[in-house]
Chains A and B, each alone.
Chain A
Amino acid sequence: MKNFKLLTVAAFAFSMLLGFSACKPKNAGSAISSDAASKAYVAPGKYDEFYNFVSGGFSGQLSTYGLPSGRLLRVIPVFSVDPEKGWGYSEETKPMLNTSHGFVPWDDLHHVQNSKTNGDYDGKWVFVNANNTPRVARIDLKTFRTAEIIELPNSGGNHSSPFITENTEYVVAGTRFSIPPDDKNGDVPINTYKQNFKGTISFISVQKDNGKMELSFQLQCPGFNFDLSRAGKGVSNGWFFFSTYNTEQAHTLLEVNASQKDKDFIMAINWKKAEEYLKSGKGRKQAVKYAHNVYSDETHSATSTIKTEVTVLDVKDFADIAYFFPCPKSPHGCDVSPTGEYIVGSGKLAAVIPVFSFDKMVKAIAAKDFIGNFDGIPILKYESVLHGEVKKPGLGPLHTEFDDKGNAYTSMFVSSEVVKWSVKDLKVLDRVPTYYSVGHLAVAGGDTKKPYGKYMVAYNKITKDRYLPTGPELSQSAQLYDISGDKMQLILDFPTIGEPHYAQIVAADLIKNNSTKFFKMEENKNPFFANGEKETKVVREGNKVHVYMTAIRSHLTPDNIEGIRMGDEVYFHVTNLEQDWDVPHGFAIKGANNGELLIMPGETQTLKWTPDKVGMFPMYCTDFCSALHQEMSGYVRVSPAGSNTPLLFSTGKNYAASDTAKKK
C-alpha cells in the first residue's frame, strides 16, 4: 500500500516534470524527426487530403487551409469587413453586417461547426459564431462565401456557439455573459445580477435542403456563464451538454470570484423534450429585435430583415428539460465521444479530466438521484454520473477530440501539451509538447461518429520564438501532428490569421467536387445586371447616377463617362461577363472612400462613389486578368454642380459612334 502511494507520488512528480519542461522553449530539432517533412509534403500541383476550417478569432473571418500541407487556401470574410473582397463595402454585401445595433464592421469568430448528416460531416455548410455582437453565420461550401447571418436576442457574448445536432436539425448558441432579457429594463444596478440577469440558449433550426436558418426558440436559463457545448450523438442523440462557469454568479473580478467553488456544472438539455413542449404550444412570445441577413446567389445581393419576436421556454418551468451535474473547476470543453456514451468535461483549473457516462446519467435521472437544485433545476450526484477520471493528465485541460481507434486527445493549456488517452480505461498513453499554450485542438473528423484520425492539429496562443520576429505582434500558430501511430509526431508548424480558436478538419472529397466555378449569366437576377455590352448604360435619377457597366478581358464598358456633377452619388453596377473559372475582375476609382469590388464571373456588384472634387478620375480593373490587364481602365469626368456637361458614355471609337461624335 505504501509502495503504491509512493509510486503514485513518483508518477505525479514525473508528469509534473514533463508538464513543466514542456513550458520551456525547445528548438525545433529536438521535437522533429527526419521523416516529418515528407509526411506534410504535398507536391506542387497536387491537392491536399483535407480542408481545415480554422476560426480567425479577432479577425472575425474564417480561414481555410489544406492539410497536411498547411497551405492557406482562402480567407472567407464573415463578420468583419474585407475591402479586398468588397465585403461590407459593395452595396450588395452591406446588409450582411446589419444588426439591431446598425451596421457592425467587426466581430470575434471563435468556433466552427461543419454540417452533419447521421453524425458525420456532409460537406454542405460551415456554421460559425460572432462572440461580441451575438450572431451565427452559415457559410456555403459551394461558393466558400457567407450565405446567412442571424443575430441572437437576449444574449451577451455568444461564446457557447455554434454547436449542431446529429442531422443539423438545430444549431445552438449559448450566452457567455448573462444579461437582463431584452424586453426587461436593463437599466439596473450591476450588483442585482442574481435577480435580474439570465442566460439563454438559442435553438436555430436549419432547413435540410437549403440550409436556411430560423430562430426556432430560446431556453431561458439561470444567470451564469455558458462556455462550450456538444450535441449528443448515437445513444445520446436528443441531448445537449453545456459547460458552465461562474455558478458563483459574480459580476466583478471573475478571475477570482468565479473560481470559488470546487465544482461548476455541466448542463444537460433534453432538446427533443423542449421541442415537444414548443410544438404543444408551451412557451411565451417575447418582444425582441434581431437582424436576419440572407445573401442570394441569384440576385447577388443580401437582404436584411429585422425580426421582432421569439418564443422562450424557461427551463425551470419544466421538470424534464434541464439537469445539472457537477464538474470540477470552471469547465471549458465539454466533448462527446464518437459513440455518444461519454461526456468529457475539461476543468480549466482541475487536476483530473472527469469522464461522464450518458447511460449513468439517464439512470440517475430516472432514480431522481439528486443532491439538490439550482434555481429550480435538479443537480445530479457527481459520483452517480461519473464513468471515471483521467488522472494526472497535465495542467489546464481545455478540449478533447477523438480518433478512429478509441483514443481521446486533450489539449493542456498551462502545461503546453497534448495528452492522448484511452476512452475505455482512461489511461494516459502518450503526450507531446506544443509551442506554446495550446487552446483548441482538432482531430480529422474528431467530433463525428466516425473520426478519420490520421492528423491532429494544435492551435496555439503563443508562438514566441517559433518564427522570424515581426515586431511586438507575432503570428499565432497551428501545429500538425501525425497520430496514425502509437506516438504522436509533430510534422509541421504553420502561422494562422487572427487568433485560431476551434477548427475542424473535413475530407476534401466531400467538398472539392461541388465547388461553384462561375455564376451563370442566364441566372443573374440582380436588378442592375447588364446582360451583355448592349445593355450597358448610364442613367441619371436626380443626383443619383447609375452606371450599368460590364467587364470582360480586357475592357470596361463604358470606359469614358462624362456629365457627372459634384453632388452626385454614382453607383457603378459592374457585371463580369466572363463565364469561366478563376476569372474575377476588380474595380476601383480614384479617391473613392470605399473598398474595391471583386466581381466573380457572371456576377453583378455595386460600388458607391461620391466624387469629392471637379476633375478627371481614372478607374481600372484591379485583378490581373490578361496580358492587356493594364489597358483595362477608363476615365470619369466630374464637372461642377449645376454644370451642363452632357451625360455621355462610350467604349472605343467603334462603339456608340454618335456619342463620341458629339463629344468632338
Chain B
Amino acid sequence: MKKLAILLFLGAFIAACGSGGSESSTTASDNSTPAETPKTESGNPSYDPQRGEGKFTKVEIGEALDIAMAAEGEKVYGVKCSSCHKLTSEKLVGPGWTGVTERHSAEWIMNFSTNTDAMLDKDPKAQAQLEICLVRMPNQNLSDDDARHLYEFMRKNDGVK
C-alpha cells in the first residue's frame, strides 16, 4: 500500500517534470516564447484523443498486410524499440505490443512515436501509460517512413495477414 502511494506520488512528479521539460524544449526551438506562461491543456476541444497530436491526420491502411513495409518495420524495431517493448503482452520498460493496433488508431501510434514529448504532455492515454511505466518514452527520431513501417510491423504482430 505504501509502495503504491510512493509510486503514485512519483508518477505525479514525473508528469510534472514532463510538462516542464516540454516548456523548455519549446523555448529551445523558439527563444522568443516567454517561458513563464504555462499553457493549460485540459479541456482543449481542438485536441483529438483518437488521433493524438502530430503530423499524421489520415493514414491510408490497406486491408491486407504490406509484407515489405512490415519487414522494414521489423528492422527499425530491432534497433530502436526492442530494448523496451516486447512483441508479447508482457511489459518490459514499456508495454508489450500485442494488441497495440487494436488499442490505438494508426494516426495515434504514428504521432506518438514521432511526436513523443508533446503527446506525453497532453494525451490522456499516453499519460496513463506513463504512470504505469514511469519512464518517458524516448523520442527515437523516427522518420515518417520508419513510423509507417513500424505500424505495419505492429499489424503483422497482431495477426494481420
Contacts and interface: CB of A to CB of B under 8 A. Distances in A.
Interface in A537-585: 550, 552-555, 557, 577-580, 583
A553 B27 CA distance: 24
B83 A580 contact: no
| Interface residues on chain B, size class | 20 to 34
A532 interface: yes
Contacts of B93: 553-555, 628
Contacts of B79: 521, 531-532, 577
A45 B139 CA distance: 22
B86 A654 contact: yes
Contacts of A521: 79-80
Contacts of A579: 80, 138-141
Contacts of B8: none
Given A44-B35, A532-B78, A579-B138, A627 B83 contact: no
Residue of B27, B78, B79, B82 with highest tally of chain A CB at under 10 A? B79
A518 B134 CA distance: 24
A552 B138 contact: yes
Nearest to A533: B83
Sorting the interface of chain A by its residue count into under 10, 10 to 19, 20 to 34 or 35 or more gives 20 to 34
Interface in B90-110: 90, 92-93
A618 interface: no
A199 B79 CA distance: 55
Contacts of B90: 654
Interface string A8-45: 00000000000000000000000000000000000111
A46 B31 contact: yes
B139 A580 contact: yes
Interface in B60-104: 78-80, 82-84, 86, 90, 92-93
- Secondary structure of the A side of the interface? loop
Contacts of B86: 654
Nearest to B17: A627
B27 to A, nearest CB: 5
A70 B76 CA distance: 43
A554 B23 CA distance: 24
A553 B94 CA distance: 10
A46 B35 contact: yes
Which secondary structure dominates where chain B touches chain A?
Answer: loop
B132 interface: no
B135 interface: yes
A376 interface: no
Nearest to B77: A532
A27 B157 CA distance: 73
A557 B86 CA distance: 15
A585 to B, nearest CB: 11
A553 B138 contact: yes
B140 A534 contact: no
A652 interface: yes
A553 B23 CA distance: 21
A318 interface: no
A45 B35 contact: yes
A531 B75 CA distance: 10
Nearest to B24: A45
Contact of B83 (A44, A45, A47, A555): A555
Contact of B82 (A44, A533, A555): A533
B32 to A, nearest CB: 9
A578 B138 contact: yes
B134 A627 contact: yes
A580 B135 CA distance: 14
Contacts of A554: 93, 135
A643 interface: no
A512 to B, nearest CB: 9
Contacts of B23: 45
A531 B83 CA distance: 11
Contacts of B27: 45-46
Interface string B11-23: 0001000000001
A373 interface: no
Interface string B36-74: 100000000000000000000000000000000000000
Interface string A42-55: 01111100000000
Given A532-B82, A652-B92, A47 B138 contact: no
B78 A534 contact: yes
A257 interface: no
Nearest to B88: A654
Contact of A628 (B31, B80, B82, B134): B134
A194 B9 CA distance: 77
Contacts of A45: 23-24, 27, 35-36
Given A532-B78, A583-B138, 11 more contacts: A45-B24, A46-B27, A532-B80, A533-B83, A552-B83, A553-B135, A555-B93, A577-B83, A579-B141, A628-B134, A652-B92
11 contacts: A47-B31, A532-B80, A532-B83, A553-B136, A554-B135, A579-B139, A580-B139, A583-B138, A627-B10, A652-B92, A654-B92
A-B pairs with lowest CB-CB distance, top 3: A45-B35, A532-B79, A579-B141
